[in-house]
Amino acid sequence: MKSHVERLPVDSSRQIPEREPIRPRSSLQHGSKVQESTFWKPFKKLSAKIALYATVLVICLYSLFPIYWMIISSLRPAERLFLDTSLVFWPPDLTSYVSLFRQTNYIVNFLNSALMAVATITVSLVLSAFVAYGATRLRFRGKTMLVASMLFAYMFPPLMLAIPMAAAFRTIGLTDTLWGLLIAHLAISLPLAVWLLWGFFKSMPFDLEEAAMVDGCSQFEAFIKVVLPLSAPGLITVAIFSFLLSWADYVFALILIMSDQRKTLPVALQSLLGAHDLRWGEVLAGASLIALPLFVIFIFCYRYFVAGLSAGAVKG
């Protein structure tokens, strides 16, 4: 039997489109693009570095130029203070500094500020170290809430805290005393110190203390001999913050201290700004002397300061 297969008519007018042959990319074009990318790559890196350095330079100028202008203006003669705008001049004039020491009780005010700063650093370090260590090693309910609530005081401006403190100190006899000013400084420095050391101790492994206790140390001895030496960057950071908050305080010292013999430097410097006599040369000289210890401390301790801030933010 023969099978019949029907053939469909073929339309001769319809043509199948021919596909274009795939042409391989020439090695010449590929090589030119690679050469172009390698040619522009160093320029991109150089432009990124230039932009970074320019940004850092602008930020440094914005931050340091007012301080430089304050220092250099304090070394100008009084008659040229508002007339001379040169950035560099010679020789310097120390008349404003001499007048500052003659017209104010600067030595006594400096000793008051130094005493308050040292006392604030000492008490803040001792109390914050024990509180932060207990919050990280002891187990009790609400310890995280307790540490977080200590920063509640920073939600309010210092003036709102100084006025109730002045009323409370008046009832207990701490008005116009350095003890009352010390308590006020601790109210703003101690919560921040506890919060910084809490993050630092939290990142420190407990295995180090366990090894010390296996060797015969108690937990208190392990804290003193092991934890505190390893926490030196955090302790230095707390000391710097406490010094800054106490040394540059103006609101608490203005409200709580009335007598001239107990005034600190910022409040004593404000007395030079009278209603009719503005001694800008002496004010700039006093402000330069107030800022001098801050520069010295930061220059020698900035490495520990940065290490303490970064270590508390990393969990171990």
Per residue in 34-80, pLDDT tens? 555 565 677 778 888 898 899 999 998 898 888 888 888 888 887 77
Residues 42 and 187 in one domain: no
Residues 155 and 189 in one domain: yes
Check residues 218 and 18 and name the one with the higher pLDDT.
218
Mean pLDDT for the chain overall: 79
Residues 59 and 184 in one domain: no
Residues 104 and 54 in one domain: no
Residues 169 and 267 in one domain: yes
74, 106, 124 - which closes a domain: 74
Per residue in 223-254, pLDDT tens? 888 888 888 888 888 898 899 889 988 889 98
CA atoms lying within 13 Å on the CB side of residue 156: 12
Taking a C-beta distance cutoff of 8 angstroms, is the pair 288, 70 a contact?
A: yes
| Domain annotation covers residue 26 | no
Q: How many domains does the chain have?
A: 2
Query: Tokens in use for 20?
Result: 């274009």
Q: Give the per-residue pLDDT at 307.
A: 66
Instruction: Check which CATH number belongs to the domain holding 196 and give it.
Output: 1.10.3720.10
d(CA 297, CA 316): 29
How far does the chain reach from its first CA to its final CA, in angstroms?
89
Residues 69 and 149 in one domain: no
Which burial class, exposed, middle or buried, applies to 16 when counting CB atoms under 10 A from its CB (0-12, 13-18, 19+)?
exposed
d(CA 269, CA 263): 10
| Domain annotation covers residue 171 | yes
Residues 149 and 281 in one domain: yes
Residues 171 and 304 in one domain: yes
Average pLDDT over residues 78-107: 82
Q: Give the per-residue pLDDT at 1.
A: 44
Angle, vertex CA 95, rays to CA 94 and CA 99, nearest 5: 120
| Domain annotation covers residue 19 | no
Q: Give the per-residue pLDDT at 316.
A: 43
Residues 57 and 131 in one domain: no
Check residues 114 and 18 and name the one with the higher pLDDT.
114
Owning domain of residue 132: 95-311
Residues 214 and 176 in one domain: yes
| Domain annotation covers residue 24 | no
pTM of the entire structure? 0.75
Residues 221 and 290 in one domain: yes
pLDDT at 9 over 60: no
pLDDT at 117 over 90: yes
Structure confidence at residue 222 as a pLDDT band (50, 70, 90): confident
Residues 252 and 113 in one domain: yes
| Domain annotation covers residue 84 | no
